[in-house]
Amino acid sequence: KKSLFSGMQATGTLHLGNYLGALKNWLEFEDEYECFYCVVDMHSITVRQDPAELRKKARNLLTLYIAAGLDPVKNCLYYQSHVSAHAELAWILNCFTYMGELNRMTQYKDKAAKHAQNINAGLFTYPVLMAADILLFQSDIVPVGEDQKQHLELTRDIAERFNKIYGDVFTIPEPYIKKTGARIMSLQEPTKKMSKSDENPNASIFLLDDTDTIIRKFKRAVTDSGNEIRYSEDKPGISNLIEIYSIAAGKSIEETEKEFEGKGYGEFKLAVGEAVAQMLKPIQERFAELSKDKEYIDSIIKNNAEKAEYFANKTLRKVQKKIGFPERI
């Protein structure tokens, strides 16, 4: 069976970009692939976190994975910090990654600018830990949003470099980035991507926002001074809303344009809000239910960590042997 890995940070609440760009797409792979979906709490500490909050957010994220429809028996849902092989392989891969490569990462540059008072070494080597995540599971594909593309390219470079020296140790992963939904934009500044760190709460739809909030945020969404509901580069606000609507309503971009031909922005925004609220409602209900069932979630956390560890250690042992670490007796 082929393998697949993806993950999300436990910081903040998931937003519509995380859902449409990644989580929603994850549902289609469980029969065809051995799937690993990680809550990457080790990545989260590259910026300061409140311990109690981090623990809570990590658990909520894992619960949301299930609430969104991932079957926790068919898919391995676990915390990165429960599988020490991530850290061990990351160290090894650090020694196969150049400073120059990491210096070129745009996400690092953005984050370093934002967290100027705490540009720690972890923030810099963040993409190497990500490469370790992916390569540990010999992943064939990695379903992510557009913003992770550069990290995926680095992962492939590191894997190819390693394989060239030691033989075929790692599967070279392919990014899986869908055409629609891969880059959902801010509702307030539609030339910027929707982001967890945005300070304006109206810029993002959070997965647990209630219906009224969702509709209000879409009503306030920044568009343009025109009146045509048409997908086009010079209409970033409307194009973003068309993209969101088309996924939420299960239609193509063209069908959406047709449906709203001649209609006003106000009517369209309301329809987008309603479609999104309707899409998220079952997830929210399931999330509320699951959150009450502590034992069930605990059992998933335990079983899946063991499963992930088993697969991860297979790769780690192989790597350790290849590079010349003494064998265990």
Which of 40, 52, 24, 125 lies closest to 308 in space, CA to CA?
A: 40
Instruction: Return the residue of 39, 77, 123, 134 that touches ligand TYM, per CB under 6 A.
Output: 134
Of 13 and 211, the one with the shorter C-beta distance to ligand TYM is: 13
Of 6 and 171, the one with the shorter C-beta distance to ligand TYM is: 6
Q: Measured from the CB of residue 132, what is the shortest distance to ligand TYM in angstroms?
A: 9
162 near ligand TYM, rule: CB under 6 A? no
193 near ligand TYM, rule: CB under 6 A? yes
Of 184 and 271, the one with the shorter C-beta distance to ligand TYM is: 184
204 is in an annotated binding site: no
Site mask for ligand TYM (CB under 6 A), range 269-308, x = bound: ----------------------------------------
How far apart CA 135 and CA 103 sit, in angstroms, is 21
Q: Which amino acid is at 172?
A: I
Instruction: Return the residue of 142, 277, 279, 300 that touches ligand TYM, per CB under 6 A.
Output: 142
Six-digit token string for 47: 């910026």
DSSP string, 125-188: HHHHHHHHHHHHTT-SEEE--GGGHHHHHHHHHHHHHHHHHHSS-S---EEE--SSSSSPBPSS
User: Do the beta carbons of residue 142 and residue 173 sit within 8 Å?
Assistant: yes
133 is in an annotated binding site: yes
Could you tell me which stretch among 4-12, 208-216, 227-235, 243-251 binds ligand TYM (CB under 6 A)? 4-12
329 is in an annotated binding site: no
Active site residues: 111, 193, 196
Instruction: Return the residue of 3, 7, 171, 198 that touches ligand TYM, per CB under 6 A.
Output: 7
Of 189 and 259, the one with the shorter C-beta distance to ligand TYM is: 189
Q: Measured from the CB of residue 263, what is the shortest distance to ligand TYM in angstroms?
A: 26
DSSP 21: I
Q: How many residues does the chain have?
A: 329
Residue list 38-77, contact with ligand TYM (CB under 6 A): 40, 43
Enumerate the H helices of the chain as residue ranges.
16-18, 24-26, 41-44, 51-67, 85-94, 99-103, 106-114, 121-136, 149-166, 211-219, 236-248, 253-259, 265-292, 294-323
Residue list 218-247, contact with ligand TYM (CB under 6 A): none
> How many residues belong to the site for ligand TYM (CB under 6 A)?
24
Could you tell me which stretch among 2-10, 220-228, 267-275, 316-324 binds ligand TYM (CB under 6 A)? 2-10
How many Å from the N-terminal Cα to the C-terminal Cα in the chain? 31
Q: Under 8 Å CB-to-CB from 282, ≥6 apart: which residues?
A: none
CB atoms within 10 A of CB 241: 28
Instruction: Return the residue of 30, 88, 140, 147 that touches ligand TYM, per CB under 6 A.
Output: 147
Could you give the strand order of the β-sheet that contains 174-176, starting from the edge strand earlier in sequence?
75-79, 33-39, 2-8, 141-143, 174-176
10 is in an annotated binding site: yes
Binding residues: 9-11, 17-18, 133, 145-147, 184, 193-197
Please give the residue ranges that form the binding site for ligand TYM (CB under 6 A): 5-9, 17-18, 21-22, 40, 43, 130, 133-134, 142, 144-145, 147-148, 182-184, 193-194
Binding residues for ATP: 9-11, 17-18, 145-147, 184, 193-197
